[in-house]
Structures are given as structure tokens and as C-alpha cells.
Chain A
Amino acid sequence: MTRKAKRLYSIGAMLVVVGAAAGLVLTALSSSVAYFQSPTDLVKNVPGPTQRIRLGGLVEEGTVKRDGSSHVTFSVTDTVDSVPVTYTGILPDLFREGQGVIAEGTLGPDRVFVADTVLAKHDETYMPKEVVDDLKARGLWEDGKGLVKKPEETVSAAPVGAGS
């Protein structure tokens, strides 16, 4: 084998590895990603039963029901439509009514969303980015003000410089 042939072979081998990896990446991207949808999207276009969805919105007030075990149902709303969600397990510490939430899972045939993962905001000032973007796009959210329909929370002029 000449040096040139050797070099060609090794380059060929590398291309095979990289190509295989690229193939893996492409198949995985087409089969195992989850799409972000708002309740309105989900009500309008019902996805297939196996399509993974990230459902984002606010936990609707008064809809959280625990049946006494680890099974929980609640509704996710974007203030226009809302979708009922069921979940088995422990909800995140910051899961609260009226707060942003992302539920990941699939939409069942009975139009009830079956979540296997529930992510709530991580600290007081955090809202899931997708939820904010979605609400913003539809004029339900303003930068610096939060949810438009939601009233201010402070009592009077806060001590100087408060807020983050």
C-alpha cells in the first residue's frame, strides 16, 4: 500500500464514522424530539397518539386535583383554551396554580394530556421561556410587566431599587 492509498483509506474510514454519526443524528432528530405547543395549538390540531409534545402554559386556577395518592390532574391554559393533564408522580416544588408550567408527554385519545414529566419554574422570577414567548406572541404578556391580566403584586412604592 502506498502512502497515498493509506491516507485515502484512513480518510475514508473517518468519513464512514462521521457519516454513520450523522445518520444517527438525523434519524434521532426525526423520531425523538418533542414539539412545544400551547393549549390553543393542541385544541386546534390534534397530534398523533405517539407524538411527544411539550405543553406549555399556566396552571389554571382551581383545577389542581389530587386523588389522595400520587395521581394528579390539572389544566394547562394560555388564557384562551385549556387542556386537562394527568400526571403520576411528585410535582416540582414550585408547581402552583396560576404559574407557568411545562408538561411533557402525549395527548391521549380522550383529549386528556398524559404527562410523564412536569417542569415548573425554577425560582420566583423564572418563567419557562417557551411559555413567555408564546404568550408574548399573542399579546398576553409584556416584557417587564408579566401577564397582562395579572395585577401588580407590590403594596406601595417598594423600597428603592427593589426588583431584579
Chain B
Amino acid sequence: MIVEIGHFALVLSLSVALVQSVLPMLGARRGDQRLMETGTIAASGGFVLIAIAFSALMASYVTSDFSVLNVFENSNSRQPLLYKFTSTWGNHEGSMLLWVLILAFFGALVALFGRDLPATLKANVLSVQAWILAAFLLFILLTSNPFQRLDPAPMEGQDLNPILQDVGLAIHPPMLYLGYVGFSIAFSFAIAALIDGRIDAAWARWVRPWTLIAWIFLTLGIAMGSYWAYYELGWGGWWFWDPVENASFMPWLAGTALLHSALVMEKRAALKIWTILLAILTFSLSLLGTFLVRSGVLTSVHAFATDPARGVFILAILCLFIGGALVLFALRASALEGGGLFAPISREGALVFNNLFLTTAAATVLVGTLYPLLLEVVAGEKISVGAPFFDLTFGPVMVPLLFAVPFGPLLGWKRGDLLGAAQRLYFAAGCALAALVGILAYTGGTKILTAFGFALAFWLLFGSLTDLFSRAAFLKKGWRTGLARFVGLPRSAFGTALAHFGLGVTLLGIVSVSSFQEEVITTMAPGSSVEIAGYSLTFDRIAQRPGANFDAQAVHFSVRRDGVVMTEIDSSKRFFPVRQMTTTESGIWTHGFSQLYVSLGDPSADKQSIVVRIWWKPLVTLIWIGAVFMAVGGAFSLADRRLRVGAPERSRRKASLAEA
């Protein structure tokens, strides 16, 4: 019965979403408070209903109820409990349900915490949110229903794709969806503003924190996904410029731009129209990502069960929302009021610079991802666009942006002093120069690009901290006053510094790995050793280790440096009999920020030896640590008192007016 109650709740939530997509907006047009209020209730109720549906599906997974087709196809009774939970979204249908759950969750947040929003804005936002929700609920119920039943029920399921049997699945998709779907709020606000024909003062105050929340999760989600692919695929790569990765990266780039332009809008009421356009584009890219991943139009290393019929449905949703939003934008944008003026050299100017480069970068990624599709449709030719393309296009676009990052926070609003900012960056420039010279000397002048890469990373690292230190004025006022001032700095200043610092950290990791990584592929037998990056790896033994639903063949290595055992590494291959699939569990030893990565290949014909691939990856973890810094920076920014969502409480309204 639980299954069917979940199914019914899902259907009911569709009806509720339909009501929600009409009534509040009607109320907003006529200023009718009663109709507008239905939005709040419908949004919260819809969320509860979808949560019931999701819990029901999860319950069927946990109890291995194979009368549910989705459970039968994607789980197995012998799976460990954690994977029974995560199997819920380890497949197309279940993950779509998670997708709408999060969409409804964000809608409910607006409904509950938006008490102080202007009522018409809130009602419009909730209606737009309900359009998206209704479209995707319809998609789920018609083409990818997770509650389809099997009668009679089979005794055993077909198991979760072994590659997904990992804690990564517990964290990565929920994070990623919180990011993807979180941008729907910015989108709904943009559409609401366009429909209403005006941008409230509260608009900018709301859009930025919500975008920030989505951005934090997307950042962490992408980083998590990257690390997961890094250790699970056994290829030692952390980014493949694969279409599925690009699908999540494009909204990130656009979302980052949105974050910065919303800042201008909030502080200076400028760039309003651009911000609205960016909000639309960001969520459109999220939708595009959903389409690319699930329609099967692209070849990707990150598989998802695909079905052309679904692709057509999502494509229709995509065209409806993106096309509709852009048409609405074209019709209504001119009716919106423009904003404040600023000089090219100013904080605003810097943020425009940031937006220009970020959107251009997003556009190059978009071209690289969609070009093969277009070419196939137009010319029937099949090509693939891989890393070389993105190295040639995305890289050069990012370099000027990264160079400019430290300047931004040092420039004043409206009119900035570039020279003054440059003077404050002397120290950072010195560090960068030292890094440049140091690397050139270390490599004997052979790796010029690497040296510049390191210099840029150090420039970012120290440049982003410069603002904090110069504002605290440690040098001028002594460390005691300086410390007091430092602590008193607004949290958003820390947020900016940390996020930009994180960018530098990530860049340092990328440059280091791509220039100084070492790799050995060789055949090893028990007792043999191999040298890499000053370490000596010895193949100790090979052993069979059965798991709950797999058999593992594990190889035990010991790592020595100058004859002293530093650590031991286990690397294994797992065989899953249900799916007749093998997965690679790479052995990784983290030493400082660097890693030694061991991945097993095929055994030789006589089973006496095995192919082993070993990488030394210097500073590789910085790539993901940098992303964590960025997310923490975002959280700091979010915690800034001045960014708290919502307008002041009503009770204080009279007093505040008198004060003004």
C-alpha cells in the first residue's frame, strides 16, 4: 500500500501544482490577497506530497520491494543498506523524483520564508515555480514513472549499476540537484519581474542569497562528482570535458556571473536587465544539462539509462521554458527601469568584466558541447570535441579573468582607483614573480607555461587576501587595532576573499598536476617493485576478498621511501555477478596535498602477473580543496547580516518610516 500511496501523492501533487500555477498569478494581477495566499499553501502542501512520494519509493528500495519495476531494475536484496537508500536516485526515474522534490523544496522555502516579500512578487514567483514543477511532474508520470509495478514480483532485483555503488552516490546527486534546481528560484524571480513589469527593491535582496545557496551546492556537487569520477573510474582523470560534466559546469559559470551581477544590482541598482537575462540563462543551462544527460543524444562516460521518447519530452519542456522566457524578456525588458551609472574603472566595471568573461567562457563550453550535435543534424557528420578544444578556447578566456580577480574587490564603487589598487597588490605581485622565477629555475627554464600558471595561482592566492589585510590596516595601525578591525570586517568581505582564494587553490592544483604528474604503466608480479617520484612500490600479495554482493581481487602494495615503509595501498577489482560487471577500486594514498594513485588492469594470461598503472599526482587534492574554499566563502557571504533575506518586519515599518 505504501507504494501506491506514494504514487497517489505524486499524482495529487501534480493537481496541486496546476492550481498553484494559476491562482496566485491571477490574484497578483488583480491584487486579490485571498487568491495569492493559495500559493503559499499549495507550495508547502505540494512539497509535503512529493516528500511522501519520495519516501514511499525509498521505503520500497530499503525493503527490496521488487513489485516496483524501478526497484527490481536498480537494486538487489544483497546490497548494503546505504546503497539501498542511495539506489533510490541511482537511476533515471528516481533521480527525476529527487529533482522535483528539490524543486518543490525550494518553492516551499519561498512560500514559508517569503512572508516579507511584496505579496504580488511572491505570488508570481510561486506560480512560475509551479509551472516548472507541473511540467516535470507530468514528465515523470507520463514517461518515467518510478512507481510502475510488476505482478507477480520477481524474487531478486537486477542490482544497482556497480559503478554507482559508492558513497559518492549518497552525496553527489543531491548536492548537484540542490545547485541545479536552486537556480530555478532566480529564474522564477526574473520571470515574475518581467510579468509584473517592475523590479522591486526586495527583488535584488532576494535573488542574490538564493543564487548563492544554489551556487554553493553546485560548487560542492561538481567538486564531489569530479573526485568521485577520479577515484571510481580508475583513469586518474579529474575532469574529462565530457558532455555530462559540461552540462553541470555551464550553469556554474553562468551562476557565478549571476552572483556577481546581482551584487551590482543590489548595491547600485545597475545592470538590472542584464541580471534578469542571466537569471534566465542560468536556469536554462540547468534545464539543458538535464536534457543532455537524460536524452541519450550524447556519448558520455557517465552513463544514464536513456530513452529517446524522454528526450523529446524534455526537449519540449526546454523549448517551452527557455523560449517562453526569452520571448517574454524581449517583450518586457524595455519596460524595466535602467539603473545607476558608473565609470568603466570601478567595482561595477570590474564585475561587468567578470560577467563578460564568464559568459563568454560558458558560451565556448556550450559551443563545444552542442557543436557535435548540430553538425550531426546538419551535415550528418560525427565528430567528438574533447579536451584539446577546451584547452584552446576555455583556457585563454579564463586567463585574463583570473588575472583581474584580485583587482575587483579593491576598486571602489562608481569610480575606482586602478593605480591605488595596483599599489596595494605589490606584495601579491612579488609572490607571483617569485613563483615564476622559482619554477623556471626548478625546471631549468623548460616549462614556461607552467611557470606562468604557478605565478597566476600565487597572484590569486595572495591578491585575494590583500583586500582583507589592507582593510584591517595591520601595518598602519599596529596589529592590535588591526586585529580588531579584521574581526569587525563584514562577513561578505571574508566571503569574497575566501572564494577568490579558493579559486587560486584550485588553479594551483590544476597547474601542478598537469605539469608535474608522473605515470608508470607496467606489469607486476608478487615481489616486484617499481619506482615513481622517489617512492618505491612493492607488489606484496594478491588476495580474494568477497563482499556483500561482489567478489574482489585485491592487490596489496607497500610504499617505501629510502627503504622505509611509508604506507600500504590496497587496490582492487570487484566483480558483480548479478550484472556480470567489473569495477576498479583504485588505491589512493594521500601524502600532504599530493596523492599516489594505483589502478589495476587485466591479469596476464598465466595469471601470474597483472598490469598496474601508477600515478604520482602532486598537489592534486588542492583542486577539490579549492572548491571547498569557494563554497565556504559563499557561506560566509550568505551569513553576512546585510544579505539576510527578506525585508524588515512589518511591525517596525512605522518607526522606520519616521526615522527616514
Contacts and interface: CB of A to CB of B under 8 A. Distances in A.
Interface string A131-164: 0010000000000000000000000000111101
B63 interface: no
A119 interface: yes
A49 interface: no
Nearest to A131: B299
Interface in B363-382: 363-364, 367-368, 371-372, 381-382
A76 to B, nearest CB: 15
B393 A69 contact: no
A90 B581 contact: no
Given A90-B599, A160-B152, A25 B523 contact: no
A28 B388 contact: yes
- Residues of A contacting B: mostly: mixed
B303 A123 contact: yes
Contacts of A161: 69, 72, 150, 154
Contact of A32 (B356, B389, B397): B389
Contact of B382 (A28, A36, A124): A36
B324 interface: no
B296 A129 contact: yes
A66 B605 contact: yes
A90 B393 contact: no
Interface string B568-582: 000001000001111
Interface stretch (A13-21, A77-85, A107-115): A13-21
Interface in B381-438: 381-386, 388-389, 392-393, 396-397
A9 B303 CA distance: 47
A88 B613 CA distance: 11
B299 A130 contact: yes
A164 B157 CA distance: 12
A70 B385 contact: no
Contacts of A18: 356, 360
B522 interface: yes
B344 A33 contact: no
Contacts of B360: 17-18, 21
Contacts of A124: 579-581
A131 to B, nearest CB: 9
Contacts of B449: none
Contact of A68 (B344, B367, B523): B523
A50 interface: no
Nearest to B357: A17
B397 A28 contact: no
A70 B154 contact: no
Given A94-B581, A160-B150, A24 B393 contact: yes
A14 B368 CA distance: 21
B158 A122 contact: no
B621 interface: no
A156 to B, nearest CB: 15
Contact of A164 (B73, B382, B522, B604): B73
B521 A88 contact: yes
8 A-B pairs closest in CB distance: A36-B382, A90-B601, A32-B388, A122-B303, A28-B392, A70-B521, A93-B582, A161-B150
Interface of B: 69, 72-73, 150-152, 154, 158, 161, 163, 234, 296-299, 301-303, 305, 341, 344, 352, 356-357, 360-361, 363-364, 367-368, 371-372, 381-386, 388-389, 392-393, 396-397, 521-523, 573, 579-584, 599-602, 604-605, 609, 611, 613
Given A18-B356, A18-B360, A104-B384, 18 more contacts: A10-B352, A17-B357, A28-B368, A29-B371, A33-B371, A33-B372, A33-B385, A33-B389, A69-B611, A90-B234, A93-B234, A119-B301, A123-B579, A124-B581, A129-B297, A130-B299, A164-B158, A164-B305
24 contacts: A6-B344, A10-B352, A18-B356, A21-B397, A24-B364, A25-B367, A27-B392, A28-B389, A29-B385, A31-B392, A33-B384, A33-B385, A54-B382, A54-B383, A70-B521, A70-B522, A89-B601, A90-B602, A90-B611, A93-B234, A93-B573, A104-B386, A129-B299, A130-B382
Interface of A: 3, 6, 9-10, 14, 17-18, 21, 24-25, 27-29, 31-36, 54, 66, 68-70, 88-91, 93-94, 102, 104, 119, 122-126, 128-130, 133, 159-162, 164
